[in-house]
Each structure stands twice: as structure tokens, then as C-alpha cells.
Amino acid sequence: METTPADAALLAAIGEGDTAALHALYERYGGPLFGFLYRLAGDRGTAEEILQDTLLAVWRSAHSFQGRSSPSTWLFGVARRQAHNRLRLMPPPVPAEPYELADPEPGPEEAAVGAERVQRALRRLPLQQREVLALSVLEDLSHQEIAEILAIPVGTVKSRLHHARATLRGCLDERVS
């Protein structure tokens, strides 16, 4: 998502305790942040809780934003940290066998790659691969931006992205066949 100088001004205003600025920031970034967190958490309830944690962290620490990264990179970095804090305390989802989740007699519509099917397959990926995939595909962030958010080299972003897509493709093909 493209950031503007107004985003940095919003963060500066939040840093000074301006509640209207927090509302404005949420209006602008609430959708992308929630989409990212939903893909990481796997369910709406947990994603909402992490979104609350993220907004609280933004409210309490916007003063430390110094513009070295773009506002969106900073926001996604904070969201990702909050997600890790909460998700590491939760037991990982049990990886289900493909046949357990597939319908007994899959029709042609099940053979297509559906959103729900993808979401369930996504939950079987390691968190590190899930976050790279979500940032790349959902938010259209460049490899460089993702590398900044996750504090990892660009090469690692590319390799995690490739493995995530290949694993996801494998999960889906396995279930369709």
C-alpha cells in the first residue's frame, strides 16, 4: 500500500496524543492490517484481538517513529510483532490430513482453488512463511519492504515466498486429487 506524507503526520499527531489521528489512521490502514492479521491468525476472533494489541502499541509508541522506514512498514512491523507475541502463546493448529478436510465426493467446484480452502491450507504453513505470503500477495509489498518489516535479507524473503507458495500449492493439489 502506498504511503503518503500525511501518514507520517498522522503518526506524529498520535505521538502527541491526538485521538482523532488514531481514528484517521485506522480508517486508512484498518483493512490492510486486519487482512494481514487474519491470514496470520487463521480466525477472525484472534485477528481482532491482535489488531487491538497493535493499535494499543501504536498509540503508546507512535512518538518513537522517526521516519527511517515508511509509516506502512512501521505499522506492519508493529502488527507482526504483536501477532508473534500472541500466537506463540497459543498451541499450533494440528495439521489435518487432506482427506479429513475434503468432502467425500468433491465436485468440480471443490476442485477450484477456493478462498476458504486456501485459508485452511494457509494455517498449515509455518508462521514465517505465512507472514511473507500475506505481506506479498495481500498487501502487494515489494520484497525490499517485506525485508524491512521482518528485518531479514531480501534473499530470505524470496526463498520463504517460494517455499510458501510451493507448499500451499502442494497442500491444495493433494486435497483436490
Partner 1 sequence: MSEFPDLDAALRTGPPPPPGPAIVRSVLLRAATTPVELGRGSRLGRAWHLLLAEARLMHRAVWVTGAAVMALAVVIMALQPHSIGWLLALIAPLVAGASVATLYAPEHDAAFEVVAATPTPPRVILLARVLLVLGYDLLLALAASGLSLLRGGVPYSLGELIGTWLAPMTLLAAIGLALSVQWNPEAAVAVSLGAWVLYALSHTHLLSGLPPGWRTHPLTYAVAVAMLALAVLIEPRRRLPATHGS
Chain residues that interact with partner 1, rule: CB under 8 A:
15, 17, 19, 22-23, 26-27, 30-31, 33-35, 38-39, 44, 48, 51-52, 55-61, 63-66, 68-69, 74, 77-78, 81, 113-119, 122, 133-134, 137-138, 148, 151, 162, 165, 168-169, 172
Q: Which is nearer to partner 1, 69 or 96 (CB)?
A: 69
Shortest CB 115 distance to partner 1, Å: 3
Shortest CB 158 distance to partner 1, Å: 12
Shortest CB 151 distance to partner 1, Å: 4
Q: How many other CB atoms are there within 10 angstroms of residue 5's CB atom?
A: 9
Shortest CB 90 distance to partner 1, Å: 15
Looking at the chain, how many residues does it have?
177
User: 118 and 126 in contact (C-beta within 8 Å)?
Assistant: no
Q: Which is nearer to partner 1, 68 or 107 (CB)?
A: 68
HSE-CB at 108 with a 13 A cutoff on CA atoms is 0
